Structure 1
Amino acid sequence: MRKFLKKIIRNSRSQEDGIFFDKLCKILGFKPLNIIFYTKAFTHRSTNKLDKTGNPFNYERLEFLGDAMLGSVIAAHLYNEVPTGDEGYLTKMRSKIVSREHLNELGRDLNLIQFIESKANPLHFGENIHGNIFEAFIGAIYLDRGYSYCEKFIHNKVIDSYVDIPKLEGKVISYKSLVIEWCQKEKKQFFFDVFDDTGVEDQKYFGVKLIIDQKIIGKGRATSKKKAEEKAAKRAYFALQEKIDKK
């Protein structure tokens, strides 16, 4: 009976691994050589897993590596595609391509969240989980197949599908930075004021006002001060757009 149960469990695990492998192949466009890198890329820290040497087994270090790989491949692409772009222009364009918003979009479009192993409530992941595991996925590709495969994947899934340089030139990735830059140039006094702080720790909300020259220009409300400030700045931008765009 024990042998029979072990066989069922072993076959079940093999079947799960096979499904995971097949789904990975469809996304990657090639066969992984070492699936353990991809398993790690989708393991959340809440599992508290350790590798054979006792180090944490989760996607966080792969996320760091994937971020570096994305940056290098995209930097090389921009350098070759925009020969007239100076360092400031190229840096700004790269930032737009690898913005958290864009990486989250890439992770969602590939439905990478389906592979996540976690003991945490998915409702508490936050929106950035999509971009985080996308970066970890890139890191796994690099460790599994090397730079050339990683570069090809980034070109196929990121650059060819999402990078439109003329459109990116007009894209705003941070209204807060844009408004602050304008205020500093025009020598205007500004500050963000938290006027509301409600909810329990897991579902806290912040209300923020952006005050310019002693006038409330925009308000925002979100689950973090940073997000609330960005919302307030976005509303302020549209209220002052004609003036800001003339800068």
Structure 2
Amino acid sequence: MRKFFKKIIKNSRSHEDGIFFDKITKILGFKPVTIRYYKKAFTHRSTNKLDETGNPFNYERLEFLGDAMLGSVIAAHLYNEVPTGDEGYLTKMRSKIVSREHLNELGRDFNLIQFVESKVNPQHFGENIHGNIFEAFIGAIYLDKGFNYCEKFIYDKVIEPYVDIPKLEGKVISYKSLVIEWCQKEKKHFAFEVFDDTGIEDQKYFGVKLTIDQKIIAKGRATSKKKAEEKASKRAYFALQEKIDKK
């Protein structure tokens, strides 16, 4: 009887791995060799899993690796595609392509969240988890198939469908940086001030106001001070767009 149940459990796990393998293969466009890398890419630290050597088994180190791979492949692409671009231009364009917002978009488009194993309620995941697991996924591809496959995946799945250089040239990464740069150039005094701090710890909201020369220009409210400052800056930018864009 015990052997019978063991067989059922084993077959069940094999079936789950088979479904995972098929779904990953469809996204990759090729068959993975070591499925364990991809399992790791979607394992959240809240599971507290350890590998056979006692090290944490989660996507965080793969995220670091994937970030480096994306950066290098995209840097090479920009270097070849824009021969007139100087170092500052190339750096700025690469930052736009690998921005957190763009990586989150990629993670959502591939629906990678469906694979995440976690003890945290998905509703409590921050928005950045989409980009984090996308980077980890890239890291898993590199470990599984090497640089050439990883580079091809980035070209086919990221650069070709998502990277439009002329369009990206006009894209704003950070409205906060844009507004601060303008204030400094025009010798204006600016300040971000939290005027509201509400909600429980898991769903805290911050209200931030942006003042320029002691005048409130815009307000923003979000789940972090950084996001609230960016939201206020975006509203300030559109309120002052004619002045800011006049260069």
Q: Normalised by the size of structure 2, how large is the TM-score?
A: 0.99
Matches within 5 A, 1:1-247: 1-247=1-247
Partner amino acid, structure 1, of 2:245:
D
Amino acid at match of 2:91: T
Give secondary structure in 2 for the equivalent of 1:25: helix
Runs of 4+ in 1 over 4 A off after TM superposition: none
- Distance in 1 (CA, whole Å) between partners of 2:132 and 2:174 is 19
- Structure 1 residue 4 displacement after superposition: 1.4
Distance in 1 between the 2:45 and 2:229 partners? 29
TM-score scaled by structure 1? 0.99
Q: Match for 1:222: what amino acid?
A: A
CA separation in 2, counterparts of 1:4 and 1:121? 34
What's the CA shift for 1:123?
1.1
Aligned-residue CA RMSD (Å):
0.5
Matches of 1:156 and 1:108, distance apart in 2: 17
Give the aligned residue type for 1:214.
Answer: Q
Task: Give the letter aligned to residue 126 of structure 2.
Answer: G
How far, CA to CA, are the matches of 1:212 and 1:146 in structure 2?
51
Q: Which runs of 5+ in 1 are unaligned?
A: none
Write out per-residue CA displacement over residues 134-189 of structure 1, whole angstroms, 9 at most, x where no aligned residue: 00000000001110000000001110010000000000111000000000100100
Displacement after TM superposition at 1:34 (Å): 0.6
| Offset of residue 68 of structure 1 | 0.3
Distance in 1, matches of 2:175 and 2:232, equals 9
C-alpha distance in structure 2 between counterparts of 1:182 and 1:7, whole Å? 67
The structural deviation recorded for 1:5 is 1.1
| Inter-partner Cα distance in structure 2 for 1:17 and 1:29 | 18
Q: Gapped runs of 5+ residues in structure 2? A: none
Distance 2:17 2:66 in 1: 23
Counterpart AA for 1:19? I
What is the rounded CA distance, in whole Å, between the counterparts of 1:211 and 1:150 in structure 2? 46
SS in 2 for 1:31: coil
Q: Aligned to 2:84, what secondary structure does the other structure show? A: coil
Q: Which residue identity does 1:221 align to in structure 2?
A: R
Q: For residues 79-137 of structure 1, what are the alpha-carbon distances to aligned partners after superposition, in whole Å with 9 as ceiling and x for unaligned?
A: 00000000000000000000000000000000000100001111111100000000000
1:3 offset after TM fit, Å?
1.4
Q: How far off is 1:69 after superposition?
A: 0.3
Distance, in Å, in 2 between the alignment partners of 1:220 and 1:156 is 38
Match of 2:126, SS state, is: coil
Supply the distance in 1 between the matched residues of 2:158 and 2:182 (Cα, whole angstroms). Answer: 31
Q: Distance in 2 between matches of 1:119 and 1:2?
A: 29
Q: What secondary structure is seen at the aligned counterpart in 1 of 2:142?
A: helix
Q: Deviations over 1:179-236 (max 9, x none)?
A: 0000010010001000000111101000000000010001000000000000000000
Shift of 1:74: 0.1
Provide the identity percentage: 88
